[in-house]
Structure formats: C-alpha cells, structure tokens
A and B are shown apart, each in its own frame.
Chain A
Amino acid sequence: MEAIILGLITGLAFGWVLQRGRVCFNSAFRDLYLMKDNFLFKAITLAMAIELIVFPLMAQFGWIRMNPKPFNLLGQIIGGLIFGMGMVLAGGCASGTTYRVGEGNTTSWVAALTYALTATAVKHGGLNWFLKWVSPFTVKITPTTSANLYDKKIGPTLATLFHVNHWIIALIFSGLLLWYVFGTKTSKRPDAKMGWKAIGLWLVPIAAFAFWSSYITGRHYGLGITGGWVSITQAYTQGHLINWEGAEVLGIIIAAFISALISKEFKFRVPKRGIVYLQTAIGGAFLGLGASLAFGCNIGNYFTGIPQLGIGSIVAGICFILGNWFMTWIIYGRS
C-alpha cells in the first residue's frame, strides 16, 4: 500500500511537469534533426546532468543504492532502434504518449493500449520468446569499484568497466553535459509555458524522490513508464495489485488531465484520417517491444539509467535517437 501511495505521489508531480513542460523525447530528438531546435533536448540534458551528481550523492548518504539495468548489447541495440522508430509512429515516446492520454489525444490512447499490451506480452506472455532470444547476452556483474554505492548485482557502469571511482566519471560526464547545456546556443520558444531550465530543474527532485520512494518500498529503480503499463495491464487482466510503477503511471495520467483542464488544453483530439490510428497502434506496439528488449523506455534509460552511468542505458539511449531520426527521415524528412 505504501508503494502505491508513494508511486502515485511521484506520478502526480511527474505528470504535472510532463504536461506543462511538454516533455516528450520524440519531440526533443526530432526537433533537433528536423527543425534544428534544441529547446526540449536541453531541458532533458540539464536534468540528466544534475541527476548524475544527485544519485551517487543519495547513495553516498545511504538513502538508495544504485542499480543500473543489465547490459545486453543485442537487446539494447535492436530494442533501442525499434523503440526510437516507434515513438515517431506513435506520435510520442513513453512519457509523451502517457501524458497525452490525460490531455485527451485519442491517437495516444490507441498507442498506449498497444504499448501496454505488447510490453506485457514480451515480458510475460506470447511474445516472451523475443526476450528469451536476447537473454544469453545479458551481462550482470558484482561491482568491485565503488561497491558502497551499488546494489550487489548490477548491470555494468562506466565506472565498473574502467575500474575508476564512480564519482570521477559522474563528475566528468555531468561537466560535459553542463558545458553543452550552457555553452551552446539554445533555441528560443517564447510562448512556452515552462522554460527549458525550469523543466530540467523540476525534473530532478521528482527523479530523486522517485528513486528513494521506490527503493524503500522494494523496487530498486527510479522513474520508469513501461513497467507501470505492464503492472496496470496485469492488474486489469489478472487481478494483481498494481506496483509502485503502475501507480506512478496512473498518477501521470491524472495529473496531466488536471493540468490540461486547468490550462484549457484538454480536448478529445480526433484526426481527420482514420489511418492515423493504425499508425499510432503500430507505433505503440514498437514502443512496447523496443522498451522490453532495451530494459526500459526513454524515461527509465535517460532519467534513471544513464545518470547511474549504466552502459546498457547509454547504448539504448543512443539507439533511441538513431531510430527516431531514421523514422523521422522516412516520414517527414524527404521533401
């Protein structure tokens, strides 16, 4: 019960910022490529840069232990590319699709449904052979470097790979990101409800609270979306109690709905061409398959995995961008 309440609180705060800040990685990656616009990308990068310091700090204080997902080169490359393409087709990544469910985008409802069903099928159902197929490549290690910051068995991090203290790499990585964020020009978006710095800064305490609250209730990870949709699907079809992440996803949808209502941005949006539903349905299925193979969606990998220096999340994160750019080029780029 504690897990559900804490997950719900996390989701409510997260959903509010997602809706106000329009935090969609599909937009962030695609705007970079298509519009040469880095507004959202900077917001995301700023949040990651600070999390890179905040997570080990929390581990140092003993509030959490870092627990990056396993490394699986095949799963993270294939899953990452599929997920990256899926977000373009679905018209939103995991977080974008989820918050837009609350905004009344009917195309996102369809995408969320196929996303949830496919992720559940890959993790626990008829599509599980996908996971079994990549599972021989899964790498988990017992850390010997910075072992005081980590759980006992974790996916390898940049620190464990190079046998360098976690803090040193985290500080360098964070410094590089901050140098990009503040040292390069940022696209202007004067009508935006939240500036990119505000979005980035708001995301940090939410990600920190998420990691702590989910850790103390037994789920050793931070913000995520895919597992939440799986939990909701299982609760609905099999009567399981939802977990922390399922409650978090429900919180996101509720907060996005309320936030959209208050700012008069809620509307049942229906496309003129029905075929768009087919496109977002396929996109959602890609999201579900891709996230399951890559051990996480964009939120799990960018906001929780990469800030722990997880190698798997870094590989998946790069492939998300490449898949996104490839599909953007196919659909929008060639004219």
Chain B
Amino acid sequence: MEKYEVTKTLDVRGEVCPVPDVEAKRALKKMKPGEILEVLIDYPLSKERIPANSEKAGHKVLSVEEVGPSEWRILIEVRGKN
C-alpha cells in the first residue's frame, strides 16, 4: 500500500478556502527535490486545484486518493525549482 516514503504531512482538513492551497504551496517551496509531501484535505475545490497548481509549479503529483467521506490524500513529489 505505502509505496512512497512521505517526508512531510500537511493536514489541512476543515480549513477555509484557500488555506489548503496556500499551505501546500508554502510547504512545497521549503522542501528539497525528491522529497514527498502528503496533503490531507476535505475541501473539494482544493482537491482539484492543488494537483493542477503543483504540476504547473513543476512538481510531480504521485496520487490523489479518496481516504474517507469527502477526504482525500494527495502525494506530491518535489521537483527542481524552476
């Protein structure tokens, strides 16, 4: 099940829009290439927006997985800064 080794976990369940997006963006900025960020969210719009914006920033989205009722786990691998 756990294929990846998560470097940092960000639990932003229950937070208002756009806290999940902003926190994820900030966390990714601080991490080194190759590290993996796990984001736990329950806000549908961020589930769609965080993967799209992380890819745009050059990172790799490893998975978006439903882990509960309206809860998702997003895994993002940090890539080199551009």
Would you call B17 and A270 a contact (CB within 8 A)?
no
Is there a chain B Cβ closer than 8 Å to A265's Cβ?
Answer: yes
Q: Which residue of B lies closest to A21 (CB)?
A: B45
Would you call A332 and B43 a contact (CB within 8 A)?
no
With a cutoff of 8 Å between Cβ atoms, the chain B residues found around residue A265 in the complex are: 44, 70
Of the 9-residue stretches B1-9, B31-39, B46-54, which lies at the interface with chain A?
A: B46-54
With a cutoff of 8 Å between Cβ atoms, the chain B residues found around residue A264 in the complex are: 66, 69-70
Would you call A37 and B14 a contact (CB within 8 A)?
no
Would you call A37 and B70 a contact (CB within 8 A)?
no
Partner of A269 from the list B13, B22, B56 (CB cut-off 8 Å) is B13
Is there a chain A Cβ closer than 8 Å to B21's Cβ?
Answer: yes
**Docked complex: A65-92 residues within 8 A CB-CB of B:** 90-92
Would you call A107 and B16 a contact (CB within 8 A)?
yes
Partner of B52 from the list A24, A103, A188, A263 (CB cut-off 8 Å) is A188
Would you call A31 and B49 a contact (CB within 8 A)?
yes
Would you call B22 and A272 a contact (CB within 8 A)?
no
**Interface residues as binary, B54-82 with A (CB distance below 8 Å gives 1, 0 otherwise):** 00100000001010011100000000000
Given A187-B56, A264-B69, A269-B43, A24–B48 Cβ distance below 8 Å?
no
| Smallest CB separation, B27 vs chain A (Å) | 12
Given A22-B45, A265-B44, A37–B52 Cβ distance below 8 Å?
yes
Would you call B21 and A24 a contact (CB within 8 A)?
no
With a cutoff of 8 Å between Cβ atoms, the chain A residues found around residue B26 in the complex are: 335
**Docked complex: A186-202 residues within 8 A CB-CB of B:** 187-193
Given A264-B70, A265-B70, A267-B69, A190–B52 Cβ distance below 8 Å?
yes
| Smallest CB separation, A18 vs chain B (Å) | 11
**Interface residues as binary, B9-20 with A (CB distance below 8 Å gives 1, 0 otherwise):** 000011111100
| Smallest CB separation, A111 vs chain B (Å) | 9
Would you call B48 and A193 a contact (CB within 8 A)?
yes
Partner of B14 from the list A35, A269, A335 (CB cut-off 8 Å) is A269
Is there a chain B Cβ closer than 8 Å to A266's Cβ?
Answer: yes
With a cutoff of 8 Å between Cβ atoms, the chain A residues found around residue B22 in the complex are: 34, 332
| Smallest CB separation, A330 vs chain B (Å) | 13
Would you call B45 and A191 a contact (CB within 8 A)?
no
Would you call A332 and B18 a contact (CB within 8 A)?
yes
Would you call A187 and B17 a contact (CB within 8 A)?
no
Q: Which residue of B lies closest to A20 (CB)?
A: B44
Is there a chain B Cβ closer than 8 Å to A271's Cβ?
Answer: yes
Q: Which residue of A lies closest to B66 (CB)?
A: A264
A192 to B52, CA, bound (A): 9
Is there a chain B Cβ closer than 8 Å to A280's Cβ?
Answer: yes
Would you call A267 and B16 a contact (CB within 8 A)?
no
Partner of B44 from the list A22, A187, A335 (CB cut-off 8 Å) is A22
**Interface residues as binary, A244-286 with B (CB distance below 8 Å gives 1, 0 otherwise):** 0000000000000000100111110111100010011000000
Is there a chain B Cβ closer than 8 Å to A96's Cβ?
Answer: yes
With a cutoff of 8 Å between Cβ atoms, the chain B residues found around residue A226 in the complex are: none
Partner of A92 from the list B17, B44, B48, B53 (CB cut-off 8 Å) is B17
With a cutoff of 8 Å between Cβ atoms, the chain B residues found around residue A31 in the complex are: 18, 49
| Smallest CB separation, A251 vs chain B (Å) | 20
| Smallest CB separation, B28 vs chain A (Å) | 13
Is there a chain B Cβ closer than 8 Å to A42's Cβ?
Answer: no
Is there a chain B Cβ closer than 8 Å to A231's Cβ?
Answer: no
With a cutoff of 8 Å between Cβ atoms, the chain A residues found around residue B44 in the complex are: 22, 103, 260, 263, 265
Interface residues of B (CB under 8 A from A): 13-18, 21-22, 25-26, 42-45, 47-49, 51-53, 56, 64, 66, 69-71
Chain A to chain B contacts (Cβ below 8 Å), 13 pairs = A22-B44, A24-B45, A27-B18, A37-B52, A91-B17, A96-B17, A105-B16, A190-B51, A264-B66, A264-B69, A265-B44, A269-B43, A276-B15
3 A-B pairs with the lowest CB-CB distances in the bound complex, closest first: A91-B16, A267-B70, A271-B14
